[in-house]
Structures are given as C-alpha cells and as structure tokens.
C-alpha cells in the first residue's frame, strides 16, 4: 500500500468552514499539481463523486440540483464524500485513473475507508464505469447517469456529429488519451466499460434520458444489453429526458444502493 500512497505528494491541506478539507497534491504519475475535496462521514463508506465535463471538483457542493438532492442523502446516511478535480476534463484517462487509484489507498490508510460507491453523471458517470471496469476490486457499487459506456465509440460519434461542446469533448479526450482511438487502440479498448463489461462485478445502476443530445442513449442501451441477466444491474431510461434531467427519478436508486444494510453486506 505504501508504494501507492507515495504516488501522491500532498502539498497542503485547508480545512474549510463547511467541515470539508481541500487537499492540494502533486501526482506521482507526471508531477501535475491538482486538488480534491474531502468530507469525512460517520462510518467507513465513502461516495466518490466525479464531476462532469467543464466543471471541477466543487460540483457536488455548488451545483444546486446535485447539492440539494444527492448530497443530503450521502450526509444523512453517514457517508464520506470524496470529490476530486482529477485533471479537469480527463475522461478517466490512464493518468487520472492512476491518480484516483492512489487516492483510494490514501483514504483507506488515513480515514479507514473500506467501501467506495461511485455516483456521478455525464463525464463523471462515464468515468465511474471506466474505473470500475479497470479496478473492480475498488468499487462497491456504481450509479452512472447519462454515461458514455464505450469511449472509443463516443469519440467517433463526437467526430461525426460536430459542433459546440461536442468538439470540446472530442478534443479533451484526444488530449487526455494521447491521440484518437485509431492512434491509441489498446488504451481506448481498456477504457471502454462496454468492451470490459464482464469486469463490472459490483451492483450497477445506469440511468439515461432517451432524448440526450450530448451522449446518445444508445451508449447505455448497449451496456444494458451486454449486462442483461446480471442480477444486480438496473437500467432506467427516462422518456423525453435530455442530458441534464431532473434528479427525482434518480434518488430512490441512490438511496437503495446506499442503505446501511447494503453497506454491511
């Protein structure tokens, strides 16, 4: 464990008035300076919240529809919240993945963390599934909202449907992964949850709007088909919903995932 912890060089900690701690650190992968927010809970379960494209590690605490709906459930049930900036718009690149893997070891060593539940949307939901497929032993459960389940396929879709934020996303993925899927096929294949769906051994919930203009619902439908028959997989498709759909349909799934009897299982 120490070797993994040494891959993160913590440079400063700032306890905020909210009771959260901002930790600034240097990645052992390449020396990048980055930061994360920590909010310890009452037991050994932690929620890993990965932000969406164009946001940062503050998202769960400042975006009203998330802050006022999901966060109170996490706090009510006593979970710690880990919300890393994680290289900005990195889409769970290999470097982001390695940074997160090292951070989970730090949470185990310094905070006694035992179980990690990944609950995020969009780029964050995509990243949830990628990380869970690469490091299933780290993940107790996943709730992924409007995710891209096959990153190379999504990259190509952004290329074929250009304009606006889709161009930004394609460029960000290209930069984070060191090229296109054609240039880095092995890296992209490893970071496709769909192509590694057999590794999703934990409970998984995927929720997607069928009118999502940013990440097409076919991304989630294909994973749902791949995981058909998996007892602890649930897929909810929201008719007429776009990319940033209301939180009300999501909350019961989150609460069921996080109930204390599940944590004790």
CATH of the domain at 12: 3.40.50.1820
User: Rounded to whole angstroms, how far apart are CA atoms 80 and 47?
Assistant: 6
Q: Angle at Cα 178 formed by Cα 129 and Cα 135, nearest 5°?
A: 25
19 band by pLDDT with thresholds 50, 70 and 90: confident
Domain presence at residue 181: no
* pLDDT tens-digit readout, 40-86: 999 999 999 999 999 999 999 999 999 999 999 999 999 999 999 99
247 pLDDT more than 60: yes
Count other Cβ atoms within 10 Å, centred on residue 116.
25
Within-domain flag for 155: no
Domain count for the chain: 1
Range of the domain at 138: 2-149+197-263
Q: Is 168 within a domain? A: no
Q: pTM for the whole thing?
A: 0.95
Asked whether the predicted pLDDT for residue 1 surpasses 50, the reply is: no
- 156 occurs within a structural domain: no
Share of the chain above pLDDT 90, in %: 92
Q: Confirm whether 162 is domain-assigned.
A: no
For residue range 185-213, list pLDDT tens digits in order: 999 999 999 999 999 999 999 999 999 99
Mean pLDDT of the residues in the chain:
95
Let me know if residue 71 belongs to a domain: yes
> What six digits make up the tokens of 228?
């058909």
* Band (4; pLDDT cuts 50, 70, 90): very low
Average pLDDT over residues 90-112: 98
Asked whether residue 103 is assigned to any structural domain, the reply reads yes
């Amino acid at each position: 464990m120490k070797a993994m912890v040494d891959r993160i060089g913590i440079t400063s900690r700032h306890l905020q008035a909210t009771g959260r701690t901002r930790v600034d650190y240097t990645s052992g992968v390449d020396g990048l300076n980055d930061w994360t927010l920590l909010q310890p809970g009452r037991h050994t379960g932690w929620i890993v919240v990965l932000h969406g494209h164009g946001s940062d590690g503050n998202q769960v605490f400042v975006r009203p529809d998330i802050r006022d709906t999901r966060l109170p459930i996490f706090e009510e049930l006593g979970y710690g919240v880990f919300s890393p900036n994680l290289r900005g718009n990195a889409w769970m690149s290999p470097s982001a993945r390695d940074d997160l893997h090292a951070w989970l070891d730090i949470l185990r060593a310094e905070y006694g963390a035992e179980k990690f539940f990944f609950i995020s949307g969009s780029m964050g939901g995509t990243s949830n599934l990628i990380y869970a497929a690469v490091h299933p032993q780290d993940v107790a459960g996943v709730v992924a909202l409007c995710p891209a389940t096959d990153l190379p396929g999504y990259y190509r879709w952004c290329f074929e449907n250009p304009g606006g934020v889709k161009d930004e996303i394609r460029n960000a993925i290209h930069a984070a992964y060191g090229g296109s899927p054609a240039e880095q096929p092995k890296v992209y294949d490893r970071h496709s949850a769909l192509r590694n769906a057999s590794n999703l051994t934990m409970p998984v919930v995927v929720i997607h709007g069928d009118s999502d203009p940013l990440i097409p619902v076919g991304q989630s439908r294909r994973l749902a088909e791949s995981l058909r028959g998996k007892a602890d997989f649930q897929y909810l498709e929201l008719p007429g919903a776009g990319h940033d759909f209301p939180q009300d349909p999501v909350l019961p799934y989150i609460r069921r995932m996080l109930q204390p009897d599940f944590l004790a299982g």
